[in-house]
Amino acid sequence: MTTVSIPDVMRILPELILAGFAILVMLFEPFVPAGRKRVLGWIALLGVLVAGMAFTWAPPNAGMAFSGSIAADGFSYFFIFLFLTIAALALLGSINYLERDNIHHAEYYALILFSTVGMCFMAASAELIMIFLGLEISSLSTYVLAGFRRHDPRSNESAMKYFLLGSFATAFFLYGIAFVYGLTGTTNLVDLAADLAQPGKWSTLTRAALILMFVGLAFKVSTVPFQIWTPDVYQGAPAPVTAFLSTGPKAAAFAVLVRIFLGLAGPSGPAAFWVIWISAALTMTVGNFAALLQKNVKRMLAYSAIAHAGYVLVGLAAAMASGSTEGASAVLFYLAAYAFMNVGAFLLIAHLAGPGEGRTEISDFTGLGRAAPGAAACLTVFMLSLSGIPSTAGFFAKFYVFRASVHAGLIGLTIIAVLNSVVSVYYYLNLVVTMYMREGEPQAARTPMPLPLYSAIAASLFAIFYLGLYPNHFLLLSTLSSKPLP
Amino acid sequence: MMPIPPTWCVYLGTGLFTIGVIGVLTRRNVIIILMSIELILNAVNINLVAFSRYFGEVDGQIFAIFVITDAAAEAAVGLGLLIALFRNKETVNADEIDLLKW
Amino acid sequence: MLERIWLIPLLPALGAAFQFFFGRKVKKSVVSLVSVGLPGVSFAWAIGCFFALLGRPEHLFTKVLYDWWPVGAFHLSSGAMGNLNVHVGFLLDPLSAVMMLVVTGVGFIIHVYSIGYMAHEGGYYRFFGYMNLFMFSMLVLVLSDNFLMMFVGWEGVGLCSYLLIGFFFHRRSASDAGKKAFVVNRIGDAAFLLGMMLIVVTFGTVNFQAVTEAARSGHYPILDPTITAICILLFIGAIGKSAQIPLYVWLPDAMEGPTPVSALIHAATMVTAGVYMVSRANALFMLAPAAMALVAGIGAATAFFAATIAITQNDIKRVLAYSTISQLGYMFTACGVGAFAAGIFHLMSHAFFKALLFLAAGSVIHALSGEQDMRKMGGLREKIPVTYWTYLIAALAISGIPPLSGFVSKDEILWQSYAGPHGHLVLWVAGWVTAGLTALYMFRQIYMTFHGTSRVEPEVEHHIHESPRSMLAALVTLAGLSVIGGFIGWPDLLGGSDRLGHFLDPVFENPVPVALKNYSAGREFDLMFLSVLIACTGIYVAYRIYVRRPEVADRVAKSFGPGYEILLNKYYVDELYDALFVNRVKNIGNAASGFDQYVVDGGVNGVGWTTRLTANLSRLWDLYVIDGAVNVAAFFTKLMSYPARVIQTGLVQSYAWLIVLGVLIFMGYYLVHF
């Protein structure tokens, strides 16, 4: 039994700072008059910035902390930075949204921060108990966030569905963990991999347990057939929350998938690989084809989110098949690129949808290219990036994933993925065509973008073009970060 | 006295788990669905404690305490969401919540 | 200086970003300071780079900024392995240096002009943001060292063109014109893209220098089919961007944009991108004489036809638009006969005088509170003298009156199209006649606008005023350039040394012999005399018709009758395209009913029969293939919505069922399959 040491604490400094600021926001709430709640939003944002800077103040030293339950490695730092960025963007996009719709409560900011803490722990932990705790911290916060528009039945329904199905899936995940613990006597991923690497250790029960754990994560990632909740929840949740929900927890669950499945890839044998392969193919196809049918922008982007999870799974399959870092780095690159374009798109839609989010049908965007050229241009860039047009981040994200899967010899899966991304162009461009080429008066809001949202959109655009025109730095970063410690 | 073999506990856990899953799938009332999920979590707890005892260490029991805490938090959040829902729709039946579909 | 060449495109990009993010918030003066200042600095930097380049013995500078797109190894069409690694890099050689100076210089002048011109328009910052973005894209296009990056710039300028044509988006015609430009350009872009793909699989690289080197290595025979295909595809791309037959229809409509846009994008720079691209790929074109002949033929034909249309147009900007198309035809003729340097020379002098013409026309429009119809002008000479004199200088230059720039560069093209290695008498005659037509339509415009009695509407009349100083400064500067621009390429024959031609030589140095046919200097002099003669004739005819006896104009028009109608309606090409492509789907119903009548009344002659057959086939095609495709898509969508409805019921418990089912299936699969 080791005592808590200073280096250990330093390794979870960002999480501590975030949690501290979240509590601070809650404590300040009673003292801030009703009209000035945005101060709390700025405090929360400050917390995210401070947490980000904590790395600079206290140069992190890689290693395990807290008896091997926290892995402070490039992998977790990459994800923590990603989560902090997503949280910052979501906070910037939420401040005016909450004011507009009269749901300005400090809990919102605190919940975003707590959820970020949970996601950071998911990415950083090398211990099933910690992963479970991180998962639950982030999930419980997002359940509430999804229902934050309390007076809107769609939001209630979204939160209820997310909550019921989320807890159901978590229960499966836990049941799997319990069995793994029972079969190996450990919940530490390093020990687990070592234990399972012994010959004869794999039994039917082990495999069943692994599948149960996969289900819990696949639910968060929203792969077919566990994607079923995604469209309803993303459509009903407040759009800035959807922005956060569709990128943060998804990336966190992928981080855990990479840690668990790559760690156990050798001993778990080819069948685990095929589970990922089938999930990837199904997820892409179902997501893209269902998106073709949609008439609601948020729901369409929800299906697109499913499809994108499929592309990331292709990268994971490539990583499992080849064992090289190429696949894992493509996964990391994709998650980051996807975060920027999706957060940007949902934040912009949150603004354009107008008070009470009344205007989210695709037809509401008719003629927006003339009425609000700036917003329409930004949305076009996000759509182009999502569809993977060159010189945007989305293109290189797909490019690296496809390249990794070709190099790993997964030709069939690559063909499915490429065909899918061709299909996807249709519904993304449909929105662009609606905005520019169709005649009519747009129903969407034409009020100018408030400054905080503006800066969030600008940052996302910058990141999209930076990754699209100058991908090499970031690719190097994701390659360096793609080797988890254990 | 002979200790209870861990397999028995596993059978008990599996039973609870199955009851919970069936409950989630069949009951209409959201509160009962919530309770069924709690049952699954308790199945997990029984397993964890049994394995912990079998290995002769406390890891699993600590895990179980975490799970109990989590179940409590989940119940609180769930009931909160349900109240918000009930205010708007005046129903606690899962099959009447279908505003968002297709 | 040269090491930071990337500043030249970057500065306008920063300007665009500034307008995008802060333009709405800041004052107009700040908007103009940033958006005119940054291209100005970029122009100064370009001049610095130009002199730095002159200081280098080989007149060549390359800079790879970073790896952009490391594709990796793949098989070439020849079976060898290629390793494609696309850089973001800059190539500064005489060709791109000339283009860079033209784009930054003329661009800067037009930005200065826009301060005055756009002062009273809404969306001031938006306009300058787009203009800066255009400068960025255009500079990327001309400074890139590979086809792919050039294509990025190519698409960028197309986008800006679309945005700026539709700048007055509340005018329906403006947004329609924007769409038309967008759609027509896509055709060319698709061909360019295909050509680029062929280049990749043939040469394994997209770098200009590498492709040029490979083409000149002697490894590929003349008339090599792949290279011919590449050249034709690239040329189709150029046709779209540079508005040549048959894809020129978008350019006249593009005049819906603000006048500075017409000057910068649709006269001086963007539309010449096609000429630049063909010149850049000169090593490939020299291996494909068939493609060269196509280039020269299309160029000469476009020059002639566009000039004939220009004579009859009454909108001051549309005349200039057709004139631009016609002049671009000259440039392509030059490229087609292998005289790339002459084409670039004309590109440069055209940039001066055509930008001037547009800006001066803008000044006229400005003075007349937005009037563009020349029939409602006249007698403006005294009222806006600076505009008049600059306009006159530009008109003389474009008509080819010595010693103005237009004379020198056009005459170089005419001489080359006669005596050049691929030259032909027909090309010369077409160019020569076009020169006469050019003088005619230009001076028709001058006389209608500035001379004679005023036909200006009374309420406009007393608002007439000379334009603000920023606009006049731009006009005078460009007028100066139009006068002296020719001297840097003054031909040997007249005691010059064709410095521009020699400067460009290293870019166009091809192992294929390009010696002129053996004609005496006397012949060149004769032709020069002939072209000046026809220009003067054109001016005289215009004078006779439009000044001496304005009533003659109508009589002439009447006596030409149907011919005049055809010209006035621009050969009905827009209508033809509408009928052929645009209204196709709309007219299915009409066509079908018309067809029935045809069958009933049916003629017996062969022509009628063929028409019916084609109509029938096209109807069947529409009915079964086009409608069929639409129906299949609809059916497919409907079909897919059934599973969606069955699965995505909106009920939590059916979702939970699916999750459990998923668990069981995955578990079953995993356990069995192990």
Q: State whether C648 and B95 contact (CB < 8 Å).
A: no
> Chain A partners of C650 at a C-beta cutoff of 8 Å?
232
Mind listing the pLDDT tens digit for each residue in C391-448?
999 999 999 888 888 888 888 888 888 887 788 888 989 999 999 999 989 998 888 8
Nearest CA-CA distance, residue C642 and chain B, Å: 10
**pLDDT, averaged across chain C:** 81
> Chain B partners of C645 at a C-beta cutoff of 8 Å?
102
In-domain check, residue A3 = no
A95 lies in which domain range?
8-480
> Chain A partners of C634 at a C-beta cutoff of 8 Å?
none
Nearest CB among A226, A232, A391 relative to C659 is that of: A226
Inter-chain Cβ pairs, chain A and chain B, closer than 8 A:
118
> Chain A partners of B49 at a C-beta cutoff of 8 Å?
none
Report whether B94 contacts A169 (CB < 8 A).
no
A65 DSSP β-pair partners: A70
Nearest CA-CA distance, residue C71 and chain A, Å: 9
Report whether A41 contacts A94 (CB < 8 A).
yes
pLDDT for the residue numbered C308: 86
Q: State whether B62 and A129 contact (CB < 8 Å).
A: yes
Q: State whether A163 and B88 contact (CB < 8 Å).
A: no
CB of A143 within 8 Å of any CB in chain B?
Answer: yes
Cβ count near C458 (within 10 Å): 7
Nearest CB among B40, B55, B97 relative to A160 is that of: B97
Picking from A121, A128, A135, the residue whose alpha carbon sits closest to that of residue A19 is: A121
pLDDT for the residue numbered C555: 63
Nearest CA-CA distance, residue C665 and chain B, Å: 16
Cα A458 from Cα C11, distance rounded (Å)? 19
What end-to-end distance do the CA atoms of chain B give, in Å?
Answer: 59
Total domain count, chain A? 1
pLDDT for the residue numbered C278: 93
Q: State whether C649 and B98 contact (CB < 8 Å).
A: yes
Q: Scanning every residue of chain A, which has its alpha carbon at the shortest distance from the alpha carbon of C153?
A: A391
Q: How far is CA C215 from the centre of its chain?
A: 27
Q: Which CATH code fits B6-91?
A: 1.10.287.3510
Q: How far is CA C285 from CA B37, C90, C226, C335, in A?
A: 74, 23, 12, 9
Q: Which residues contact residue C213 at a Cβ distance below 8 angstroms, ignoring those fewer than 6 apart? A: none
Cα C413 from Cα A197, distance rounded (Å)? 79
Cα C272 from Cα A248, distance rounded (Å)? 48
> Taking 50 as the threshold, does the pLDDT of residue C610 lie above it?
no
Q: How far is CA A390 from CA A343, A385, A393, B9, in A?
A: 20, 8, 8, 57
pLDDT for the residue numbered C525: 81
pLDDT for the residue numbered A231: 92
Q: Scanning every residue of chain A, which has its alpha carbon at the shortest distance from the alpha carbon of C634?
A: A293
In-domain check, residue A486 = no
Q: How far is CA A128 from the centre of its chain?
A: 20
> Taking 50 as the threshold, does the pLDDT of residue A1 lie above it?
no
> Taking 70 as the threshold, does the pLDDT of residue C617 lie above it?
no
CB of B71 within 8 Å of any CB in chain A?
Answer: no
Q: State whether A150 and B84 contact (CB < 8 Å).
A: yes
Mind listing the pLDDT tens digit for each residue in C491-520?
777 777 778 888 888 888 765 555 566 666
pLDDT for the residue numbered C163: 82
DSSP A133-171: HHHHHHHHHHHHHHT-STT-HHHHHHHHHHHHHHHHHHH
Average pLDDT over residues B2-29: 88
Q: State whether B102 and C657 contact (CB < 8 Å).
A: no
Q: State whether B102 and C644 contact (CB < 8 Å).
A: yes
Q: Which two tokens stand for residue C283?
A: 């090593």
Q: Which two tokens stand for residue C55?
A: 């200081």
> Taking 90 as the threshold, does the pLDDT of residue C305 lie above it?
no
Integer Rg of chain B from CA: 17
DSSP C182-243: HHHHHHHHHHHHHHHHHHHHHHS--BHHHHHHHHHTT-SPTT-HHHHHHHHHHHHHHHHHHT
Cα C464 from Cα C458, distance rounded (Å)? 10
Nearest CB among B21, B97, B102 relative to C652 is that of: B97
Counting residues of chain A whose pLDDT is more than 90, the rounded percentage is 48
Pair type for strands C61-75 and A63-65: unpaired
Cα C582 from Cα C575, distance rounded (Å)? 9
CA-based torsion, A220, A224, A227, A228: positive or negative = negative
Query: For residue A130, how many C-alpha atoms fall within 13 Å in the half-sphere facing its CB?
Result: 22
Q: Which two tokens stand for residue B44?
A: 């997990």
For chain A, how long is the longest CA-to-CA vector?
71
Q: State whether A140 and B73 contact (CB < 8 Å).
A: yes
Picking from A321, A332, A193, A190, the residue whose alpha carbon sits closest to that of residue A258 is: A332
Nearest CA-CA distance, residue A271 and chain C, Å: 6
Picking from C429, C365, C426, C412, the residue whose alpha carbon sits closest to that of residue C113 is: C365
pLDDT for the residue numbered A263: 75
Integer Rg of chain C from CA: 28
Nearest CB among A208, A225, A292 relative to C671 is that of: A208
Mind listing the pLDDT tens digit for each residue in A417-450?
988 888 888 888 888 888 877 777 777 777 888 8
Q: Scanning every residue of chain B, which has its alpha carbon at the shortest distance from the alpha carbon of C642?
A: B102
CB of B23 within 8 Å of any CB in chain A?
Answer: no
Q: State whether C659 and A215 contact (CB < 8 Å).
A: yes
Q: Scanning every residue of chain B, which has its alpha carbon at the shortest distance from the alpha carbon of C652?
A: B94
> Taking 70 as the threshold, does the pLDDT of residue C619 lie above it?
no
Q: State whether C24 and A448 contact (CB < 8 Å).
A: yes
Inter-chain Cβ pairs, chain A and chain C, closer than 8 A:
96
Asked whether the ipTM of the predicted complex exceeds the cut of 0.85, the reply is yes
pLDDT for the residue numbered C667: 85
- The one-letter code for the residue type at C416 is Q
Q: Which residues contact residue C460 at a Cβ distance below 8 angstroms, ignoring those fewer than 6 apart? A: C368, C369, C371, C376
DSSP A201-239: ---HHHHHHHHHHHHHHHHHHT-TTTTTTHHHHHHHS-H
Cα C376 from Cα C91, distance rounded (Å)? 49
Mind listing the pLDDT tens digit for each residue in A254-276?
999 988 888 775 556 667 788 88
Average pLDDT over residues A169-186: 91
In-domain check, residue A253 = yes
Q: Which two tokens stand for residue C644?
A: 């969606």
At which residue do the structure tokens 């008066």 appear? A441
Cα C434 from Cα C446, distance rounded (Å)? 18
Report whether A145 contacts A114 (CB < 8 A).
no
Which region among A58-72, B12-26, C425-439, C460-474 has the lowest average model confidence (pLDDT)? A58-72
Integer Rg of chain A from CA: 21
Question: What b/e sequence results for A42-69 when a residue is b if at least 16 CB atoms lie within 10 Å of its CB, and e otherwise?
Answer: ebbbebbebbbebbeeeebeeebbbebb
Q: State whether C671 and A164 contact (CB < 8 Å).
A: no
Cα C573 from Cα C309, distance rounded (Å)? 11
Report whether C285 contacts C274 (CB < 8 A).
no
Pair type for strands A63-65 and C81-92: unpaired
Q: State whether C651 and B100 contact (CB < 8 Å).
A: no
pLDDT for the residue numbered C576: 65
pTM of structure: 0.69
Nearest CA-CA distance, residue C627 and chain B, Å: 28
Whether residue C246 has a cis bond before it, omega within 30° of 0 = yes
Helix, strand, coil shares of chain A, percent, nearest 5, are 80, 0, 20
Q: Is residue C86 classed as helix, strand or coil in its secondary structure?
A: strand
Nearest CB among C651, C657, C660 relative to B95 is that of: C651
**pLDDT, averaged across chain A:** 88
Average pLDDT over residues A218-225: 91
Chains that touch B (3 or more CB pairs under 8 A): A, C
Q: Which two tokens stand for residue C458?
A: 């009374």
> Chain B partners of A144 at a C-beta cutoff of 8 Å?
77, 80-81
DSSP A288-344: HHHHHT--BHHHHHHHHHHHHHHHHHHHHHHHHHH-SHHHHHHHHHHHHHHHHHHHH
C86 DSSP β-pair partners: C69
Pair type for strands C61-75 and A70-72: unpaired
Q: Scanning every residue of chain A, which has its alpha carbon at the shortest distance from the alpha carbon of C162?
A: A436
In-domain check, residue A373 = yes
In-domain check, residue A2 = no
> Chain C partners of A165 at a C-beta cutoff of 8 Å?
652, 655-656, 659
pLDDT for the residue numbered C601: 40
> Chain C partners of A271 at a C-beta cutoff of 8 Å?
669-670, 673-674
Q: State whether B94 and C649 contact (CB < 8 Å).
A: no
Q: Scanning every residue of chain B, which has its alpha carbon at the shortest distance from the alpha carbon of A149?
A: B84
User: Torsion over CA of C355, C358, C359 and C361, rounded to 10 degrees?
Assistant: 160
Chain A residues 176-205 within an 8 A CB cutoff of chain B: 177-179, 181-182, 185-187
Report whether A187 contacts B69 (CB < 8 A).
no
Helix and strand numbers, DSSP H then E, in chain B:
3, 0
